[in-house]
Structure 1
Amino acid sequence: MEATPPTPSQMLAYLEEFRRTGAASDQLPNDIYRNFFAEILAKKTLTSAASNSLLESFDAVASNQEVPPSPTDEDVWIFGYGSLVWKADFPYIDRRRGFVWGFKRRFYQHSIDHRGIPERPGRVVTLLPGDPSQDRVYGVAYRIAASQKGAVLDHLDYREKNGYERCSLHFHEYPKTSSADGEPIQVIMYVATQANDSYAGDVWQVPCIARQIFSSAGPSGPNREYLFNLATAMEKLFPGAVDDHLGELVASVRRFIDEDEPHLLEGALLQEISVALQEGEPSHQDQAERLQKLLERSQQPGGREWLLHGQLMRKNEA
């Protein structure tokens, strides 16, 4: 059973009762944490949220439209290698699994509009040049009807506005279909080059990226959700395919969640509770209102990551 959030009156009554008993004031932050914050924030956060129904129906349902337009020679194909793999929020008339040669997928792009915010950017993927004969990136190609491609490309230009540019290359189906003649498909994809303002620079070490993902969230949700969704999609759509960078990040972020998140959240909340008790007017009513606002913020989307980021910054400064 989920914990029921306290009401402002319950918070006020607790403060007044604590003062009335004459308990040591230095114990108050710990008692408030234990009684009002710990149970609510102890719930595990999402570790994998890619839609199983979407992935399981991939080959059975080729289009996301009830009556898709008929294919024509004027259609275009869009290749997705990040969130587009599981979140195609545009109309398409066909989709296929496959890969492109000569690239490496890396979490080298800051996200300030989807999985992070300007003051706390997250990390998302882009592609780097690799060995044309060895390196391949797996993803999904979507066929866009000629009558819909203008609107879809405008939508994607906006969605990928934070540093991504269009380019064109060849896409190879996986697994190869007997009906195809083996010819690759010309696709459009979006790549964030090293020249864009949100490129992450030389902070490429997996532990650093993992910590950033672990403590970031944005309008589209927690950064960890993006990472785990991508890993789940790759595992289900491309069994046996290896992406060492993705696998190392998943393992590192899961370690942060299992080993570090509980005590980091506790430390962050104890710090914020102490501040709420000390700042402003000393009345119990004011303290109760500040504590209630802290509790509400902690439970809002991105609240957990806000606490984690702040605590990690304090530990770095110590």
Structure 2
Amino acid sequence: MLGFLRELRGSGSAADQLPGNIYTEFFANIIAEPSGNGCKSADHDFTQGFSMLRTFDTENSNQLEPPTATDADVWIFGYGSLVWKADFPYIDRRRGFVWGFKRRFYQHSIDHRGIPERPGRVVTLLPGDPAQDRVYGVAYRIAASQKSAVLDHLDYREKNGYERCSLEFHEYPTDGAEPIQVIMYVATQANDSYAGDVWQVPCIARQIFSSAGPSGPNREYLFNLAAAMDQLFPGAVDEHLQELVACVRRCIAEDEPQLIRHALLHEIAGILKQEQLAEQAQQLENLLERCQKPGGREWLIHRALQAKNQS
């Protein structure tokens, strides 16, 4: 980077051309090659890569030697990331649904798909029509010997506003089987991170589009959930989820390239105000490294949207 800056300065390029030259040489490919951060093009097939879902009916347990099932086992129902990211031991899993709820992206995420200063959005359940509304997901059977450790793990994983409750789970496709009593985690409207329907779907989509956290980009959470629903429950309709997917894909296709370019040019111009060439080179390298890390694109998008809102 330092050598390039010296060469660029020596070429006599006008000062106002330097940010564009540096952007073209080192940063333009960030827009063109979004792999690895959940930042795919609008027409990308988000159902690719779900080995867990492709083997759902043939691999009931994620343990080589699962404990024997007993009457003391418990079932956990997942309707969000637990559908496709079960990071705990289970001895059986079933596809199905619960009656009387609606799944909504009404919960802020400050510890998984966002950070406190830039919260993401994740799902919770709202009361619905007991005879009409269904939420589809996956129930996992937890062996009695592993129950305490798994519930402690999930209590920590869902610590940002979620509480346990118990209800009946019905298998899919419906085959007349008796319902299963399950535990699930719901973020109530009383918790500090509850966001509700503030801003409605287009603005929720904008928040997802520009957010990332320790667990990765918020859009990855949205797209993985949509892919899981498509594969596990063909024909089931979740209008809220589908509308959000369409809005976020539209943001990626129509807005993302321009927002990232604007943010990068602004960052580069600010760095070039440093007096020492070596300091400029170091800060540009730091910027490049940050942009290539998971969440780097969302950070740039957020900064561009902030500048746009302030102008």
Q: TM-score range by the shorter chain?
A: over 0.9
Q: For the Cα contact (< 8 Å) 1:108–1:204, is it kept in 2?
A: no
Deviation at 1:302, TM superposition (A): 1.1
Q: For the Cα contact (< 8 Å) 1:216–1:302, is it kept in 2?
A: yes
Q: For the Cα contact (< 8 Å) 1:98–1:138, is it kept in 2?
A: yes
> 1:156 and 2:154 equivalent?
yes
TM value normalised by structure 1: 0.93
Q: For the Cα contact (< 8 Å) 1:49–1:225, is it kept in 2?
A: no
The equivalent of 1:301 in structure 2 is: 294
> 1:188 and 2:183 equivalent?
yes
- Change in 2 beyond 3 A, CA 1:158/1:49: farther
Q: For the Cα contact (< 8 Å) 2:118–2:211, is it kept in 1?
A: yes
Whole-angstrom distance in 1 between the partners of 2:199 and 2:149: 35
The equivalent of 1:8 in structure 2 is: none
Deviation at 1:176, TM superposition (A): 2.6
Whole-angstrom distance in 2 between the partners of 1:201 and 1:97: 27
TM value normalised by structure 2: 0.95
> 1:266 and 2:256 equivalent?
no
The equivalent of 1:219 in structure 2 is: 214
In the TM superposition, what whole-angstrom CA distance separates every residue of 1:131-187 from its partner, at most 9, and x where no partner exists? 00110000000011111100000000000000000000000000134xxx5321100
Q: Which moved more, 1:93-102 or 1:33-42?
A: 33-42
SS of the residue 2:192 aligns to: coil
Question: Which amino acid in the other structure matches residue 29 of structure 1?
Answer: P
Deviation at 1:202, TM superposition (A): 4.2
Q: For the Cα contact (< 8 Å) 2:47–2:228, is it kept in 1?
A: no
1:77-92 residue pairs with structure 2 within 5 A? 77-92=75-90
The equivalent of 1:75 in structure 2 is: 73
| Residues paired across the two proteins, number | 303
Among 236, 239, 252, the residue aligned to 2:234? 239
In the TM superposition, what whole-angstrom CA distance separates every residue of 1:47-77 from its partner, at most 9, and x where no partner exists? 4377421111101111111111111111100
Deviation at 1:204, TM superposition (A): 4.6
In the TM superposition, what whole-angstrom CA distance separates every residue of 1:273-300 from its partner, at most 9, and x where no partner exists? 0111114xx1211111111111111111
Among 248, 251, 276, the residue aligned to 2:271? 276
> Structure 2: 5+ residue runs without aligned partners?
41-45
> 1:119 and 2:121 equivalent?
no
> 1:170 and 2:148 equivalent?
no
Aligned-residue RMSD, C-alpha? 1.2
Question: Which amino acid in the other structure matches residue 3 of structure 2?
Answer: A
Q: For the Cα contact (< 8 Å) 2:30–2:291, is it kept in 1?
A: no
Q: For the Cα contact (< 8 Å) 2:201–2:243, is it kept in 1?
A: yes
> 1:43 and 2:33 equivalent?
yes
The equivalent of 1:27 in structure 2 is: 17
Identity %: 74
Query: Runs of 4+ in structure 1 displaced over 3 angstroms?
Result: none
SS of the residue 1:108 aligns to: strand
In the TM superposition, what whole-angstrom CA distance separates every residue of 1:22-71 from its partner, at most 9, and x where no partner exists? 22111000110011110244213434377421111101111111111111
Question: Which amino acid in the other structure matches residue 141 of structure 1?
Answer: A
The equivalent of 1:209 in structure 2 is: 204
Q: For the Cα contact (< 8 Å) 1:110–1:199, is it kept in 2?
A: yes
Whole-angstrom distance in 2 between the partners of 1:114 and 1:15: 38
SS of the residue 1:110 aligns to: strand
Whole-angstrom distance in 1 between the partners of 2:47 and 2:146: 29
Whole-angstrom distance in 2 between the partners of 1:259 and 1:202: 24
In the TM superposition, what whole-angstrom CA distance separates every residue of 1:70-90 from its partner, at most 9, and x where no partner exists? 111111000000000011111
Q: For the Cα contact (< 8 Å) 2:263–2:303, is it kept in 1?
A: yes
The equivalent of 1:107 in structure 2 is: 105
Question: Which amino acid in the other structure matches residue 212 of structure 1?
Answer: Q
Whole-angstrom distance in 2 between the partners of 1:12 and 1:214: 34
Whole-angstrom distance in 1 between the partners of 2:6 and 2:62: 57
Question: Which amino acid in the other structure matches residue 125 of structure 2?
Answer: L
Question: Which amino acid in the other structure matches residue 314 of structure 1?
Answer: A
Question: Which amino acid in the other structure matches residue 136 of structure 1?
Answer: R
Deviation at 1:227, TM superposition (A): 0.3
SS of the residue 1:19 aligns to: helix
